[in-house]
C-alpha cells in the first residue's frame, strides 16, 4: 500500500513558480489529500508543524479543496501557527470548506476570534475575505439556533 502522505509531502517540497502552484499544483495536491488513509491524516497532523512555512502555506491551500472533516480539523490546527499569512489562508480555506457544506459551527467562536485578530492590520482584500467568512458563520449559527 502506497504512503500517500509521503507523496503529498514530497509534492509540497518541490520548487514551483507561483503561477504553476496556483493553477496546477494546488489541484494535484488536493487530489493526493482525497486519497489519504486514516494513517496518512495522523502522519500529516504529527508532522505539519515541523515543516517550512512554504510547505505549510501550500498544505493550507490544498486542504481548502478537500471537503472532509479531517481537512477542516487540520485547518483549525493551522490557526495556531505564528504566521499571519498562513492563518489568513487557513481562514480562507475554512470558508471554502463551509461553502461546500462542511459543518464548522462547533468552532465558530475560535474562528471569530482569529478573524478579529487579523482584522486589526488587514488589507482591503483581507477584510473582504474575513467579512465573507463572518457572514457565513452568522448564517450557519442562525440556522442552527432555529
Please give the pLDDT value at position 2.
64
Question: Residue 51 has what DSSP assignment?
Answer: S
Which pLDDT value is given to residue 143? 76
CA 56/CA 123 separation, integer angstroms: 22
pLDDT band at 145 (very low <50, low <70, confident <90, very high): low
Q: What is the DSSP string of 61-97?
A: HHHTT--SHHHHHHHHHHTTSS-HHHHHHHHHHHHHH
Question: Which range, of 15-19, 83-87, 93-97, averages the lowest pLDDT?
Answer: 15-19
Per-residue cell: 122? 488587514
User: 38 is in which domain, residue-wise?
Assistant: 4-144
pLDDT tens digits, one per residue of 95-112: 999 999 998 989 999 999
114: its cell numbers: 482569529
What CATH number has the domain bearing residue 108?
1.25.10.10
* Structural domain count, the chain: 1
Flag the least confident range among 36-40, 103-107, 109-113, 127-131: 103-107
What is the rounded distance in angstroms from the CA atom of residue 44 to the CA atom of residue 5? 7
Amino acid at each position: 500500500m502506497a504512503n500517500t502522505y509521503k507523496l503529498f509531502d514530497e509534492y509540497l517540497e518541490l520548487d514551483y513558480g507561483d503561477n504553476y502552484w496556483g493553477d496546477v499544483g494546488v489541484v494535484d495536491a488536493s487530489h493526493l489529500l482525497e486519497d489519504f488513509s486514516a494513517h496518512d491524516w495522523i502522519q500529516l497532523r504529527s508532522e505539519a508543524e515541523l515543516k517550512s512555512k512554504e510547505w505549510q502555506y501550500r498544505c493550507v491551500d490544498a486542504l481548502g479543496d478537500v471537503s472532509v472533516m479531517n481537512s477542516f480539523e487540520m485547518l483549525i490546527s493551522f490557526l495556531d501557527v505564528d504566521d499571519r499569512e498562513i492563518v489568513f489562508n487557513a481562514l480562507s480555506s475554512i470558508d471554502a470548506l463551509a461553502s461546500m457544506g462542511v459543518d464548522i459551527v462547533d468552532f465558530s467562536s475560535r474562528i471569530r476570534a482569529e478573524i478579529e485578530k487579523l482584522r486589526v492590520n488587514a488589507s482591503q482584500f483581507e477584510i473582504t475575505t474575513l467579512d465573507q467568512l463572518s457572514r457565513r458563520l452568522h448564517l450557519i449559527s442562525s440556522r442552527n439556533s432555529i
